Structure 1
Amino acid sequence: MSFNEQFDQHGAWRREFALRLKLLAEWMKDHDLLDAAVEERLQRLETQVRSDKVMVAFVAEFSRGKSELINAIFFAGYGRRIMPASAGRTTMCPTELGYDADVPPCLRLLPIETRLQTQALMEWRMVPEKWTRIDLDVNDPAQLAQALEKVGEVRHVTQDEARALGFWHDNSPDDNPLVGPDGLIEVPRWRHALINIAHPLLKQGLVILDTPGLNAIGAEPELTVSLIPQAHAVVFILAADTGVTKSDLSIWREHLITEGNTTDARLVVLNKIDTLWDALSTPEQVQAQIDRQRATSAEILGLPESQVIPVSAQKGLVAKVTADMALLQASQLPALELALAQGVMGPRQKILRTAVDAGIAELRVEAGRAMHIRRRDLAEQMIELRGLRGKNVSVIKHMRSRIEQEQTEFAASGAKIHAVRSVHLKLLREIFHLLSTPTLKAELAELTAALKQPGIKLGVKKAYGQTFSRLREGLQKAQLCSGEIQAMLTVSFQKLNADFSFSLQAPKEPELARYVHDLAQIERSHLQYLGVSNILKLSQAGFSERLMRALATRLRVVYESALGEVELWNKSAASQLDAQLRERRRNFGRRLEAIERIQQAASGLDERIAEIDAQEHVLDELDAKLHALTSHLLGGPLLQAPAHDSPAASVHAAMVAVA
């Protein structure tokens, strides 16, 4: 199955899952099983599945055929080139292709002059009016292709302007661009491009990151320390006729391989194998030459040969457009698509499936707990009512008095529950403080100061190490605090269970260790970036400030995610208390109503016992339905709607079958 086919299947599963989840939420709401914590868990699951993105970054030095490869894999259906792929440099700025339903089809371009300001790329995304926008007609391939040519636009600037923009370095003259006869230097016109089109794969969550050559990557720190490290797969393109050049090796070592990271999600494409097709050589001789280049490239890059894939993107595109199957096989493009499917979609689906299963299992426990409370209350009422059979009026009157006394005593539980909540919130404030934006800013102050020092910053690696040590300690303190709260909740819930016959259970403690792992990944990508070649760039105030803003933006995402976990945990504990208080109040009301009916009519007792029997049967049905509905969302292979049905139709059929 090709990457495109597997991505189609993944998209069908995501849509079907989201519909099943929505119908589950409606069913739970109809049966009063949707408390605040369960509702938030459902919303999070739906958001996670609907917004799940798979980013594939294509990285190469210029003229390696990168844009042509993107055309061949993703856009051959247009019957022509969409990404500009003529001779010479065609992609001058990093380009992201994705889909946002809230934005019309368009190309947005961020002017290169924004480099003179300190905002990180992520911050510029929040200021759409600063981008140049060009509307796209997705039904007109010619207009689409013409508009996308703008990503290759350049400007000619003076040496001073090039230096300020980060394209000229006095300390590394070999890396500087050529100076034209007029004394001007060619630089990209745009800093970043965002392409929003409703391509089938992009609509399903694929994001393609097309990056320019070594100089452009090095000049934009956010690419190396944020975007490329977060990509689910990186496709690194070499030219078959040149193999691994010096600049190729620089990109690989400085930007794609970080210490402690595996290379499993790195694919190397040996492109342009058609340049080795030689009418004077036999097919066996041509293949031997390709195999030699493949083996040599794998050895230099430290990869197994299986991760170096020879391809002709140009011939693959032509073959797809002309439906020439023999040429398509000769281009070896299907082998690359298969490797992408296995290397990207397989692990990505597994990660999402694991997260979804965990969320559904917790949701099932929380909803099941509400039904358990109802079942226990019905059982208590049944014992109480059966004990009244054959009893006289005074006994029944005494029973009413006892229920009213229990109700009065139960009212006192409110004060105890309020006390538990107060202590809980007091302890939570410490975690909220540890994970707050002001705390993060304070922890970064020392590193910010180190990066702001003038000149070469030789002590910056040490400052990074100390900063990340403090950040890890902060997360570990937050985990210790959550452990204390968990212990307090367990003891408090046990006491409330004993005193008031509740069935409270402390919710699962948030696991903050995975955010420590995220910190380690961020630290590695930054330390890798601070190699010898970039130490000189750090002497520029604007460059080091952009690097700092990029770091702060990425860390803020980690802290906000950790805080979200803690807030959900808190909400789950509070919702349990609210749900059980609500159910207990209802229970008292039902018991008093039953006694009143028994006092008014002799047949009232038997009627009420029959009603409780019926309610227990309804609970059994609800339990079975909950199990069936959640089983549709748990485990097993990825769901795929039949070809003749829409996802909505197949979900509706499943829900009807369960009901």
Structure 2
Amino acid sequence: MSVPFSQQFEQHGAWRRSLAHRLRWLASWLGDNDLLDDAVAERLRHAESLMRDSRVMVAFVAEFSRGKSELINALFFADYGRRIMPASAGRTTMCPVELRHDAGQAPGLRLLPIDTRLVPRSLQQWRESSEGWTGIALSPDDGEQLAAAMQKVAEVDRVPLERAKALGFWREDACDDALPVDAHRHVEVPRWRHAVLNLPHPLLEQGLVILDTPGLNAIGAEPELTMSLLPQAHAVLFILGADTGVTRSDLAIWREHLGEAAPAVASRIVALNKIDTLWDSLSAPGQIEAQIERQCALSADMLGVPRRRVLPVSAQKGLQARIAGDAPLLQASRLPALEALLGQGLLAEREAILRRAVEGGLDAVRAEAQRILRLRQRELTEQGMELEGLRGKNTATLRHMMRRVEQEQSEFEAGAERVSALRAVLGKRMREMQAVLGPTALKSDMAQFAQALGRPGIKLQLAQVYARTFDGLRTNLCDVQATMAELQAMLHAAFRQLNAEHGFALQAPAEPDLSKYIAEMSSIEQSHLHYLGMGNILRLVQSEFCERLAQALSSRVRTVRDAALGEIEDWRRSAFSQMDRQMNERRATYARRVESMARVRDAASSLDERLAELAGQGAQLRALEQRLRDLCEVLVGRKPEPGAPPAAGDTQLRAA
């Protein structure tokens, strides 16, 4: 039996919460045993935050009247016993709608007026601010109030043609797809630019984000939607009508926004909706099935996707069946099969990504903690050998040996200046890289393209300027990668010298690999070339559209460069934390050696006691190392915790 998507997602959320709790417990355990430096603590905080706060976005994309909102109702809101998203004949969702949960805000619907498109501010900036939005408070348990509020996303205004052009909803070069102009030269446009529903729905509370998008005309008018929001989606459901198949506008949306132009989207599923329109009492069941199969195969061929990724469904009958508790109708709607594919593909892939991220972080945490434990073990052994050599020595000899240790300590502190010098050099070079990839540099890097967009009239050379801009962005990342290689070599040499002189166990962290960010820059460049083609030549005459395009592109590029800087900062933090930790450990070792000698000098009987203490401490360190291995193995699921049940959701999620 297919497991409903809601149940699969609840199991996925339980697994994430359990693992986040264990990561926090590991951080506490490491702290209690003095094994938690700044780099390790930050790595664990990041892993815990990833597990606890990670969101899974599912985007629903379709031309209007394909039953997209009805499918959202059937998949997520049948428990209300009614429709929540507006679903009726004609156009309903007129603006992008995000359904999510933010515990820090009261339940409600936020609506961004369409006129904000005329303000030189990116959609992302608007989304991060409360300014300019219209808010509607909601009671989450009141389905009727919720449904009434969601009708707002279908609202429209009639505006003069020139204003419609400025807002990006009318183009002279797209007469077939243009909105109709009435006798007063007015055009109907959406009243709202973007909507965010904050709702404490069980799935939304666990990190699900639903993105409901409008049709082709509205998608094309909002570059940031396809540059930022859709690439963030972990799965995309592209909805077609079973009665129409793949129309020209469907194909335009797919090719421009979801096909090869959007390689960052992790998973795409095509839902052939409204199969109930093919249910014909005059046709035999086999004939109906053959007709549905033909439409699925034809759609898969036209879109260039595997046939198994095209699923027939009736959202309307699926919703009706769920509300009425009609199991045969639910199976006939084929909604469970769509849920199963969505859950298995999306959640299994998401879990694999999260597991790899946690495993990578834990491997680094374990390696660093083991280095600390082995360094302590070695120093205990050296102290034991030194104390054994004190047997039978007189007071004068002990004083001499204490002075020698104190002299070594002074020489060590003098040598520590080289560590400070290394920190200064690394810090300076880090600031240089931050200047290359920081926000000020980004404005300069994008300046030529922004100027070309801002020129009046037709922009025939824009594609060449665009290509040069991305060549420069990639070159900057390549230059930073070369600088990182130099710093890595410097760090290796410095750590080898410190290890040889002071017996440290310093190990340079892995050099950040920026090649994935260079490749992502190329992906961004290729996926948005269609905005600069002949099909958009008249739209690019509009200064407002060009401003939105520049803002959206800058926002996307900034996200990539910020991620690259984050990896570089993690490298720096790891290197500095190791040096600080081992310097402090060595200082503590010198203090313990002097204290041990003083105790032996003052009371001869304390030598055996001190040696016994060292032996006990050595046993504790070995036990800690074994416990560390066991905890990390349990966390990544390689072995069960003795006497403990499996993490909540693990068994069920694997079964699903």
Q: TM-score range by the shorter chain?
A: over 0.9
Cα deviation, residue 2, structure 1: 3.5
Residue in structure 1 matched with residue 89 of structure 2 by the alignment? 87
Q: Which amino acid in 2 is paired with 1:508?
A: A
Question: Is 1:275 aligned with 2:281?
Answer: no
Q: Alpha carbons of 1:535 and 1:233: their partners in 2 closer, same or farther (altered >3 Å)?
A: farther
Distance in 2 of aligned mates of 1:259 and 1:555: 16
CA contact 2:233–2:265 (8 Å) conserved in 1: no
Structure 2 SS opposite 1:368: helix
Distance in 1 between residues matched to 2:417 and 2:508, nearest whole Å: 19
Which residue matches 2:513? 511
Structure 2 partner of 1:429: 431
- Using a 3 Å threshold, how does the CA distance of structure 1 residues 472 and 551 change in structure 2: closer, same or farther? same
Matched letter for residue 132 of structure 2: K
Give a deviation string over 1:37-78, Cα, whole Å, max 9, x none. 111111111122222221111111111100000111111122
SS at match of 2:106: coil
1:457 matches 2:459: yes
Alignment equivalent of 2:496, drawn from 490, 494, 497: 494
- Report the equivalent of 1:15: 17
**CA distance in 2 between partners of 1:439 and 1:238 (Å):** 43
Whether 1:340 and 2:319 are equivalent positions in the alignment is no
Equivalent of 1:420 in 419, 422, 429: 422
Q: Name the aligned partner's letter for residue 440 of structure 1.
A: L
Q: How does 1:560-639 map to 2 (within 5 A)?
A: 560-636=562-638
Question: What does 1:217-256 align with in structure 2 at a 5 Å threshold?
Answer: 217-256=219-258
| Offset at residue 171 of structure 1 (A) | 3.2
Cα distance change on mapping 1:629 and 1:412 into 2, 3 Å: same
Q: Which moved more, 1:428-437 or 1:568-577?
A: 428-437
In structure 2, the residue corresponding to 1:420 is in which secondary structure?
helix
Residue 508 of structure 1: CA displacement? 1.5
Residues 532 and 348 of structure 1: CA distance in aligned 2, closer, same or farther (over 3 Å): farther
Matches within 5 A, 1:206-605: 206-259=208-261, 261=263, 265-605=267-607
Q: 1 CA distance for matches of 2:264 and 2:553?
A: 22
1:156 to 1:220, Cα distance in 2 relative to 1, 3 A: same
Amino acid at match of 2:127: R
CA contact (8 A) 1:257 1:263 kept: no
Which among 27, 34, 37 is matched to residue 39 of structure 2? 37
Are 1:353 and 1:635, in contact at CA under 8 Å, matched by a contact in 2? no
Count of residues in Structure 1 that have an aligned counterpart in Structure 2? 645
Q: Does the C-alpha gap of structure 1 residues 15 and 244 become closer, same or farther in structure 2, counting only changes over 3 Å?
A: same
Distance 2:266 2:276 in 1: 27
- Tell me by how many angstroms 1:268 deviates: 1.1
Pairing 1:124-139 to 2, within 5 Å after superposition: 124-139=126-141
Kindly provide the CA deviation profile for residues 506-526 of structure 1, in whole angstroms up to 9, marking residues without a partner as x: 111112112112212211221
> How many angstroms does 1:550 deviate by?
0.6
Alpha-carbon distance in 2 for matches of 1:304, 1:418:
58
Contact 2:19 2:647 in 1 (8 A): no
Q: Tell me, yes or no, if structure 1 residue 76 matches structure 2 residue 78.
A: yes
Residue of structure 2 equivalent to 1:654: none
Instruction: Specify the SS of the correspondent of 2:528.
Output: helix
Q: Secondary structure at the match of 2:83?
A: coil
Paired AA for residue 453 in structure 2 = L
- Supply the distance in 2 between the matched residues of 1:531 and 1:49 (Cα, whole angstroms): 41
Structure 2 unaligned blocks of 5 or more: 650-656
Query: Residues 636 and 523 from structure 1, CA distance in 2 versus in 1: closer, same or farther, beyond 3 angstroms?
Result: farther
- How far apart, in 2, do the equivalents of 1:529 and 1:182 lie? 31
Residue identity matched to 1:19: H
- Shift >6 Å, 4+ stretches: 642-647
Residue aligned with 2:344, SS:
helix
Identity %: 54
Aligned equivalents of 1:210, 1:46: Cα separation in 2: 29
Query: C-alpha deviations, 1:181-218, integer Å up to 9, x for none?
Result: 55432111000001111111111211111111111111
Between 1:620-629 and 1:475-484, the stretch displaced more is 620-629
Q: Which residue of 1 aligns with 2:198?
A: 196
User: In the aligned structure 1, how far is the partner of 2:541 from the partner of 2:645?
Assistant: 59
Distance 1:315 1:637 in 2: 45
| Deviation readout 1:235-268 (Å, 9 max, x if unpaired) | 1111111111121111112222135838872211
Mark the CA change 1:87 to 1:636 in structure 2 (over 3 Å): closer, same or farther.
Answer: farther
Q: What secondary structure does 2:139 align onto?
A: coil
Q: TM-score, normalised by structure 1?
A: 0.94
Shift of 1:631: 1.7
Deviation at 1:635, TM superposition (A): 4.7
Give the letter aligned to residue 566 of structure 1. I
Give yes or no for the alignment of 1:54 onto 2:56.
yes
1:121 to 119, 123, 132: 123
Using structure 2 for the length normalisation, give the TM-score: 0.95
Q: CA RMSD in A?
A: 2.0
* AA matched with 2:533: G
Question: 1:652 is matched with which residue?
Answer: none
Quote how far apart the aligned CAs of 1:452 are.
0.9
For each residue in 1:371-424, what CA deviation from the matched residue of structure 2 results, as whole angstroms up to 9, or x when unmatched? 122111111100101111233333322221221121121121221111221222
Secondary structure of the structure 1 residue equivalent to 2:412: helix
- The structure-2 alpha-carbon separation of the partners of 1:466 and 1:644, relative to structure 1 and needing over 3 Å to count, comes to closer
Per the alignment, residue 652 of structure 2 pairs with none
Secondary structure, in 3 states, of the residue corresponding to 2:64?
coil
Which one of the candidate residues 157, 160, 163 is aligned to 1:161? 163
Q: Choose from 59, 65, 73 the match for 1:63.
A: 65
Question: 2: distance between equivalents of 1:309 and 1:218?
Answer: 26
Deviates more, 1:625-634 or 1:535-544: 625-634
Q: Deviations over 1:120-178 (max 9, x none)?
A: 10011132121001111111111111111111111111212212211122333322211
| Residue aligned with 2:111, SS | strand
Distance 1:260 1:211 in 2: 16
1:204 and 1:226 map into 2 onto residues whose CA distance is 22
Asked whether the 8 Å contact 1:364–1:626 carries over to 2, the reply is: yes
In structure 1, C-alpha distance between the alignment counterparts of 2:639 and 2:325, rounded to whole Å: 32
Shift of 1:435: 1.5
Q: Which amino acid in 2 is paired with 1:267? A: I
> Residues 225 and 529 of structure 1 are in contact (CA less than 8 Å); yes or no, is this contact kept in structure 2?
no
The Cα shift of 1:636 comes to 4.4
Of 218-227 and 107-116, the range deviating more from structure 2: 218-227
Gaps of 5+ in 1: 648-659
Q: Which amino acid aligns with 1:370?
A: I
- Distance between the aligned counterparts of 2:531 and 2:203, measured in 1? 32
- Opposite residue 419 of structure 1, the aligned amino acid is A
Q: Give the residue type in structure 2 aligned to 1:9.
A: Q
Name the CA distance, whole Å, in 2 between partners of 1:645 and 1:610.
40
Rounded to whole Å, the distance in 1 between the matches of 2:473 and 2:264 is 24
